[in-house]
Amino acid sequence: MNATDLTKTLAQILLSRNWTVSLAESCTGGLVCATLTELAGSSEWFERGYVTYSNEAKTECLGVPAELIEAHGAVSEQVAKAMAEGARIHSGSNVAISITGIAGPTGGSEEKPVGTVSFGWSTENQVLTKTMRFDGDRQRVRQQAAEFALTELIALLRS
């Protein structure tokens, strides 16, 4: 499914539950928020988005403990989990997605190469995380991350 189809599917699921979604984006810089708000009527189910690019923003806006970032790095499932929970709780939405990663072309390491992206999905009952490695240039990594985040949320909500 492309981003437009993913957005329409997510909208249908959220509307059927009378739910809202929020985002906490780092490496995607608001790309998912922009994708979701392309759909007319998204104000019925899209609550808000946080672009928390810096570690300070993750702490100040989402309540991610600085010690967690220091211990695991901003690109980690632990931080993605805290970002997703923070976005959901601070926004009052029913579900939230977080994305933190290394889109490149610089910033990677042997342990976390360019294309490494950690995700979190938070509902009232659970928080799931996953780390993926995407190939391609900066734009391609960001696009793949955005589509993956939506695909996984849809699967979570359908399960």
pLDDT above 90: percentage of residues in the chain: 97
CA distance 8 to 63: 31
Beta-carbon contacts of 54 under 8 Å, excluding residues fewer than 6 positions away, are none
pTM of the complete model beyond 0.95: yes
Give me the architecture of the 3-158 domain, per CATH.
Answer: Alpha-Beta Complex (3.90)
pLDDT tens, position by position, 82-137: 999 999 999 999 999 999 999 999 999 999 999 999 999 999 999 999 999 999 99
* Domain assignments of the chain as residue spans, ordered by start: 3-158
Q: Identify the band that residue 1 occupies on the pLDDT scale cut at 50, 70 and 90.
A: confident
